[in-house]
Amino acid sequence: MSSTGLVLERAERTDLADPSEIRLAMEQRLAALLDGKPGIPPNLHGAIRHASLAPSKRVRPVLLVLIAQPSPALKQTALDLGCAVEMVHTASLIFDDLPCMDDAQIRRDRPTTHIAFGQATAILGAIALLTRAFGLIAELETIPHQTRTRLAKVLSDAVGWDGLVAGQEIDINGRADLAGAEQVETLNWLKTGVLFVAAAEMGAILAGMNEERIEAVRQFARHFGLAFQTADDLLDGAASAAQIGKDVGKDGDKATLVSLFGAKGARLSCEEHLARADQALLASGVNGAPIRALMARLFDLRQAAAQ
C-alpha cells in the first residue's frame, strides 16, 4: 500500500469502468452541484448551467475516474474531483469563446455563453466555476488534507500562468511568431495537454500510485492530449459546425501541425502520439481496456467527422 493509504485491492473497487456510465454519473453529480442556492442571481446561475451542462463527452473527468478506479468509499470523491476538473475546463471554454479571444458563436451544440447571457455574465460565470472547483477539492473530507493540497496544486498549476493561461496568451498574441513543429506542439501542450495531464495525475494520486506509476500516467496523458489537439486542428479545417458542435475554421492562417505538414502529416503525428500514449499506459499498470475503448471511440468519431 502506498503512503497515502488509498490503494485497495482490485476486487474491492467499484464497477465504474465503463466510460459511458462514468459520464452519466458525472453529469448527474455536476447537475446536483450546480443546483441553485439562495443568493445566486438567476441570470448568473443560468449562464453557469448553460455552459456546464451542455452536451459533452466529459473526456477529462472520465479519464480521471478510469485511472483512479475508486473503491466504493471513494466513488463520490472521484466524481467530485472529476467535476472540479470539468468546472475548470468549462470556465476555460467560456473565456476562450469571448469576442476578445476567439469570438466564437457556437459551443457544445448551443450558443456560446456570452451570446446567450452577455459578456459580463459569461466572464462572471467562468470565474465562479473556476473558484468553485478549488472549493470542491477543499471539501473532500474522505481523503487526507495533504492529499487535498496536492490535488489542488496539480489543478492550479495546469490553469496558471505557465499552463492554460499561458497557452491562451500565446494563441492570441504570439501565434504568428511560432516557427516549426516543436513550438506548435508546445502551444498544443499548454492549450490542451496540461489539463489532460492534470486530470490523469489527479486520478493517479487518488488511487495512491507511487511516483514511478504517476510519471507513466503523466506521459500517457501528455501524448493523449497532444493527439487530441492535433485531431481538433484537423477537424477545424475539414468538419462542419453541425458535426462537431462548435465553430470551425477558427484557425485560419494560424500555425498548426496541419498548416505545417498538411492533413496527412498531422494525422501521422496524431497516430504517433496515440502509440506513445498506449506504451505509457501499459507502463503505468492502470487497467487500460476501458481507457483504450474511450480513446478508440473518441478518435474514430473525430476521424469520421473530418472525412
DSSP 8-state secondary structure symbol assigned to residue 167: H
Question: Is-contact 273 226, C-beta < 8 A?
Answer: yes
Question: Closest Cα to residue 67, out of 19, 137, 4?
Answer: 19
Dihedral over Cα of 233, 237, 243, 247: its sign: positive
Q: b/e string for 70-86 if b means 16 or more Cβ within 10 A?
A: bbeebbebbbbbbbbbb
Torsion of Cα atoms, 45 then 203 then 297 then 243, to 10°: 30
190-216 pLDDT tens trace: 988 899 999 999 999 999 999 999 999
Q: Which domains does the chain have, with CATH numbers?
A: 15-306 (1.10.600.10)
The type of residue at 229 is Q
pTM of the full predicted structure?
0.88
Predicted local distance difference test score (pLDDT) of residue 235: 81
d(CA 191, CA 126): 17
pLDDT in tens, 41-86: 999 999 999 999 999 999 999 999 999 999 999 999 999 999 999 9
Task: Categorize the per-residue pLDDT at 253 as very low, low, confident or very high, splitting at 50, 70 and 90.
Answer: low
